[in-house]
Structure 1
Amino acid sequence: MSGRMWSKSRQTLGKKRTAIPTILGTFTGLAFGGLLGMSQGMKKIRQELPKDSQLLSIIEENEQLKREEMNQSLGNVLDHRNQK
């Protein structure tokens, strides 16, 4: 992606060349790559840990708290929309 943005910034001869597309593409790739890697890593950890592992129970508890927080936030947004 960063390569495409870089080449696109170089195509026009009349404009001043900048590195902004390259920088944006690099950071976008790092962010998405990091999220994907973290997701795959957590999936692998959950598969490899024994069912009675204390670490696995902490991970599941943390995920449950995140789901509850997300549901509460979504509920607040929907309530706010319904009040209008």
Structure 2
Amino acid sequence: MNGKDDERYKILKAFSESRYIYRSLGGLSKETGISKENVQMILNILINHELVEQANRPKGVRFLITQKGRQIIFN
């Protein structure tokens, strides 16, 4: 696994271990220690692979893990 794969897994794991369903870009960045720019880039990749979805919430854009994304973490 290369560094980018590790970061993708780290972000998916942050979703699965959170008490929140919807996560913000800043929250994911803070929790994983990955810069906001890199988190945004990785989220775009995860969205394209249908592992994460983007939602417009009252407090702004949020992200949530999909069932497909959960399967990667728990398999």
Pair member with larger Rg: 1
Normalising to structure 2: TM-score of the pair?
Answer: 0.30
Normalising to structure 1: TM-score of the pair?
Answer: 0.27
**Per residue, is there more strand in 1 or in 2?**
2
**Per residue, is there more helix in 1 or in 2?**
1
Higher relative contact order (CA 8 A, sep 6+): 2
